[in-house]
Structure 1
Amino acid sequence: MYRITPCLLLVACAAATLMSVPSAGAGFTSIDTGHTLTKVRVARHDDKTIIVGSTYEGDLIALSDAGQPLWKRDLSGTMNHDVWCEDITGDQRDEILAANADGSVYCVSSSGELLWQFKVNDAPMYAVCVLEKAGVSYVVCGGFDNNIYYLSATGEQIKVLPSSGYSIAKPWGNDPFKPSPPKGLHIANFLRKAKRSDGSEFLVVHGTMNGMQDKGAVYLFEPLADQPHRTIPITAGKGIGDLTVAVDGNDILLGTSAHGNDSSMSRINVASERQDSFKFRSLKKRVDGFGYRVVQPSVLTNDSQFKYFIVCGRQILLVPPDLTAAECEVHSCRYSFNDVWMDGPNQRAILASAQSGGSSVHIIDLADNTWKKEIAELQPPGKIAAILKASDVVREKVHTFSRPEWERPPLPVYLMSESINDSVESIVEQIQQSSSSPVFLDHQHFGVAEDWDRSSLANEKYQNKRDRRRRYTLTHKQAVDALQSVYQTENGAAYWAGHGNDPYMFTLDTLKEVIDAADGRKTVLIYPELEDHSDDFDFVLKDHFYPLAQFAQDRNTQIYVRTKHCFWQGNVYLPMWNRLLSGEFADVFVPAMEETTDKSMELSLASRSGIWASGATNSWGSRCARDNTSFDRARQHSHQMLPNHFLRMMVYHISSGAQYIDNFPVDQEYMSLLWELIAKGVLYVPKRDEIVSYSPVHLSMHEPDHEYMIESSNVKWCTFFDPQRESQRRMVFSRLNGSWPGAPVTEWDFSRYAAGVNDRRLNFLPPYENGLVLITPPQSGPDSDPDAPRGRLVDNLHPIYRNIMVEHHTDGHHYLSADGQQTYAADQYATTVAADIRRAVKQLPLSVSGEVAWVAAQTSPTHLRLTLIDSGYINPKNRKAVIHFHAARPTQIRDVLFDTEFDLSDPDSVTIPIPLGMFRFIDIELASPLTAQ
Structure 2
Amino acid sequence: MSFKKHANFKMISRMKYILLAISILTASVGWAAGFATDGNGIRNAISASINGEGVLYVSEIDGTVSCHTTSGKTLWRNPTDNPAVMFEIEAADLDGDGNDDLLAASGNGNIYCWGHDGQLRWTFNPGRKVRFSEVAVVKNGDTVQIFAGGNDCVLYELDTRGNLVSETKYAGIIRKLEAGNFVYKDQQSLLVMAMTSDKWSWSFLGIIDPRSKEVLVEGNIKKGELLQFKSLMINELTVADIDGDGLDDFMFVGTGKADSVASAARDAAGQFVVMNGKMKPIVQFGFPKKDKQLYAHGFAASLQPVRNEIAVNFGTVLYVLGLDGQLIARTGKAYEGFAFNGLTVEPESRQLFGDGQLGGGTTLHAFDLTQDHWWEAPQQLLGRLAEVESNLDTLYRQSLKFKRPAYQKKSEEPWVLVSGREPNEAVANLKGEDLKFVTMSTWSEDFDRSKISKVAGEGALKKDRRKPYDLSQGEIIARARKMEQSGVPFTLWAGHGTDPFYMQVETMIGILEAAPTTCYGFVYAEMGNPEDPRSHYFVNHYIPQLAPAMRKQGRAKLFFRFKNIFWAAGAHLHPWDQLFFSRDYADLVVPTTEDTNSSTQDINLAGRVGMFMGGYVDQHALRLVEDNVCCWRPESACGQTSISPFLRSGVLRAAYGARYGIISGLKFQQEPGIQILYALMKSGVLPQVQPEDILSVGSWHLMKDIDEHHVEISEDGHDVMLYTPEDDNAVISVGGVGWSGAGLSDHDLSKVALGVDYRWLNFIPELPNGMVPIAPIGYQSELKKRGTPFSVSSTKEGFINGKKVPANQFGTYMRQIVEAGAARMPIAVKGASWSAIRLDDRHVRLILIDPGYIDPQERQAVISFQGRQPVSAMDILSTETLDASSPVLTVTVPAGSMRFIDLAY
Say whether the fold is shared (TM-score over 0.5). yes
Per mean C-alpha deviation after superposition, the further-off stretch among 835-844 and 618-627 is 835-844
Of 252, 255, 268 in structure 2, the residue corresponding to residue 254 of structure 1 is 252
Which residue of structure 2 lines up, in the alignment, with residue 180 of structure 1?
none
Of 679, 686, 689 in structure 1, the residue corresponding to residue 692 of structure 2 is 689
User: Partner letter of residue 233 of structure 2?
Assistant: G
Which residue of structure 1 lines up, in the alignment, with residue 294 of structure 2?
291
Which residue of structure 2 lines up, in the alignment, with residue 239 of structure 1?
233
Which residue of structure 2 lines up, in the alignment, with residue 909 of structure 1?
888
Distance 1:411 1:865, change over 3 A: farther
Structure 1 residues 112-141: Cα deviation after superposition (integer angstroms, max 9, x where no partner): 111111110320111111101242111111
Matched, 1:116 2:122: yes
Distance 1:893 1:143, change over 3 A: same
Which residue of structure 2 lines up, in the alignment, with residue 102 of structure 1?
108
Aligned-pair identity (%): 23
User: Secondary structure of 1:383's match?
Assistant: helix
Which residue of structure 2 lines up, in the alignment, with residue 931 of structure 1?
none
Matched, 1:391 2:396: no
Of 815, 826, 831 in structure 2, the residue corresponding to residue 845 of structure 1 is 826
Matches within 5 A, 1:311-460: 311-323=313-325, 329-332=330-333, 334-344=337-347, 346-375=349-378, 378-410=379-411, 412=413, 414-420=415-421, 425-427=424-426, 429-431=428-430, 434-441=431-438, 443-446=439-442, 449-457=444-452, 458-460=455-457
Matches within 5 A, 1:466-545: 466-486=463-483, 490=487, 492-536=489-533, 537-545=535-543
Report the Cα distance in structure 1 between the residues aligned to 2:486 and 2:611, rounded to whole angstroms.
Answer: 32
Matches within 5 A, 1:603-752: 603-666=603-666, 667=669, 669=671, 670-695=673-698, 697-723=699-725, 725-726=726-727, 730-752=729-751
User: Partner letter of residue 839 of structure 1?
Assistant: A
User: Partner letter of residue 816 of structure 1?
Assistant: F
Q: Are the counterparts in 2 of residues 27 and 371 from structure 1 also a CA contact under 8 Å?
A: no
Report the Cα distance in structure 2 between the residues aligned to 1:826 and 1:769, rounded to whole angstroms.
Answer: 21
Of 196, 202, 227 in structure 2, the residue corresponding to residue 209 of structure 1 is 196
Of 212, 218, 239 in structure 2, the residue corresponding to residue 225 of structure 1 is 212
User: Secondary structure of 2:575's match?
Assistant: helix
Distance 1:267 1:150, change over 3 A: same
Report the Cα distance in structure 2 between the residues aligned to 1:732 and 1:652, rounded to whole angstroms.
Answer: 24
Q: CA deviation at 1:243?
A: 0.6
Q: CA deviation at 1:223?
A: 2.0
Report the Cα distance in structure 2 between the residues aligned to 1:593 and 1:471, rounded to whole angstroms.
Answer: 25
Which residue of structure 2 lines up, in the alignment, with residue 593 of structure 1?
593
Structure 1 residues 407-439: Cα deviation after superposition (integer angstroms, max 9, x where no partner): 121354545342338xx64346435xx444221
Matches within 5 A, 1:33-112: 33-75=38-80, 76-112=82-118
Which residue of structure 2 lines up, in the alignment, with residue 797 of structure 1?
none
User: Secondary structure of 1:416's match?
Assistant: strand
Q: CA deviation at 1:550?
A: 3.4
Structure 1 residues 313-352: Cα deviation after superposition (integer angstroms, max 9, x where no partner): 2111113444456x65344461211122233564322211
Q: CA deviation at 1:518?
A: 1.4
User: Partner letter of residue 872 of structure 1?
Assistant: G
Report the Cα distance in structure 1 between the residues aligned to 2:795 and 2:351, rounded to whole angstroms.
Answer: 50
Report the Cα distance in structure 2 between the residues aligned to 1:66 and 1:642, rounded to whole angstroms.
Answer: 27
Q: Are the counterparts in 2 of residues 58 and 79 from structure 1 also a CA contact under 8 Å?
A: yes
The TM-score, its normalising length taken from structure 1, stands at 0.87
Which residue of structure 2 lines up, in the alignment, with residue 7 of structure 1?
none
User: Partner letter of residue 620 of structure 1?
Assistant: H
Structure 1 residues 276-323: Cα deviation after superposition (integer angstroms, max 9, x where no partner): 54332xx232x2x2321222022233688x742101221111134444
Matched, 1:810 2:806: no
Which residue of structure 2 lines up, in the alignment, with residue 199 of structure 1?
186
Aligned length: 850
Q: Are the counterparts in 2 of residues 100 and 126 from structure 1 also a CA contact under 8 Å?
A: yes
Structure 1 residues 422-467: Cα deviation after superposition (integer angstroms, max 9, x where no partner): xx64346435xx44422111x1434x62111111112224422211
Per mean C-alpha deviation after superposition, the further-off stretch among 681-690 and 385-394 is 385-394
Q: Are the counterparts in 1 of residues 550 and 557 from structure 2 also a CA contact under 8 Å?
A: yes
Of 148, 155, 160 in structure 1, the residue corresponding to residue 155 of structure 2 is 148
Report the Cα distance in structure 2 between the residues aligned to 1:313 and 1:487, rounded to whole angstroms.
Answer: 40
User: Secondary structure of 1:868's match?
Assistant: strand
Q: Are the counterparts in 2 of residues 611 and 777 from structure 1 also a CA contact under 8 Å?
A: no
Which residue of structure 2 lines up, in the alignment, with residue 126 of structure 1?
133
Matched, 1:269 2:293: no
User: Secondary structure of 2:122's match?
Assistant: strand
Q: Are the counterparts in 1 of residues 93 and 100 from structure 2 also a CA contact under 8 Å?
A: yes
Distance 1:891 1:414, change over 3 A: closer
Per mean C-alpha deviation after superposition, the further-off stretch among 888-897 and 243-252 is 243-252
Q: CA deviation at 1:566?
A: 1.6
User: Secondary structure of 2:253's match?
Assistant: strand
Q: Are the counterparts in 1 of residues 798 and 806 from structure 2 also a CA contact under 8 Å?
A: yes
Which residue of structure 1 lines up, in the alignment, with residue 17 of structure 2?
none
Which residue of structure 1 lines up, in the alignment, with residue 14 of structure 2?
none
Report the Cα distance in structure 2 between the residues aligned to 1:589 and 1:352, rounded to whole angstroms.
Answer: 44
Report the Cα distance in structure 2 between the residues aligned to 1:925 and 1:651, rounded to whole angstroms.
Answer: 22
Which residue of structure 1 lines up, in the alignment, with residue 806 of structure 2?
825
Q: CA deviation at 1:826?
A: 1.9
Distance 1:522 1:613, change over 3 A: farther
Which residue of structure 2 lines up, in the alignment, with residue 779 of structure 1?
778
Report the Cα distance in structure 2 between the residues aligned to 1:522 and 1:414, rounded to whole angstroms.
Answer: 16
Q: CA deviation at 1:207?
A: 1.3
Q: CA deviation at 1:704?
A: 2.1
Stretches of structure 1 that go unaligned for 5 or more consecutive residues are: 1-18, 164-183, 785-791, 795-800, 927-933
RMSD across aligned C-alpha pairs, in angstroms?
2.5
Q: Are the counterparts in 2 of residues 187 and 719 from structure 1 also a CA contact under 8 Å?
A: no
Matched, 1:899 2:879: yes
User: Secondary structure of 2:701's match?
Assistant: strand
Q: Are the counterparts in 2 of residues 192 and 205 from structure 1 also a CA contact under 8 Å?
A: no
User: Partner letter of residue 893 of structure 1?
Assistant: A
Q: CA deviation at 1:910?
A: 0.6
Report the Cα distance in structure 2 between the residues aligned to 1:646 and 1:523, rounded to whole angstroms.
Answer: 24
Q: CA deviation at 1:40?
A: 0.6
Q: CA deviation at 1:272?
A: 6.1
Report the Cα distance in structure 2 between the residues aligned to 1:892 and 1:816, rounded to whole angstroms.
Answer: 43
Q: CA deviation at 1:191?
A: 3.2
Distance 1:473 1:328, change over 3 A: farther
Distance 1:648 1:413, change over 3 A: farther
Distance 1:895 1:643, change over 3 A: same
Which residue of structure 1 lines up, in the alignment, with residue 15 of structure 2?
none
The TM-score, its normalising length taken from structure 2, stands at 0.89
Q: Are the counterparts in 2 of residues 530 and 564 from structure 1 also a CA contact under 8 Å?
A: no
Q: CA deviation at 1:514?
A: 1.2
Q: Are the counterparts in 1 of residues 874 and 882 from structure 2 also a CA contact under 8 Å?
A: yes
Report the Cα distance in structure 1 between the residues aligned to 2:166 and 2:695, rounded to whole angstroms.
Answer: 56
Which residue of structure 1 lines up, in the alignment, with residue 898 of structure 2?
919
Which residue of structure 1 lines up, in the alignment, with residue 20 of structure 2?
none
User: Secondary structure of 1:857's match?
Assistant: strand
Matches within 5 A, 1:877-892: 877-892=857-872
Q: CA deviation at 1:734?
A: 0.8
Q: CA deviation at 1:274?
A: 3.8
Q: CA deviation at 1:911?
A: 0.7
Matched, 1:308 2:310: yes
Stretches of structure 2 that go unaligned for 5 or more consecutive residues are: 1-23, 258-266
Distance 1:70 1:553, change over 3 A: same
Q: CA deviation at 1:386?
A: 1.4
User: Partner letter of residue 873 of structure 1?
Assistant: Y
Per mean C-alpha deviation after superposition, the further-off stretch among 682-691 and 392-401 is 392-401
Matches within 5 A, 1:758-769: 758-769=757-768
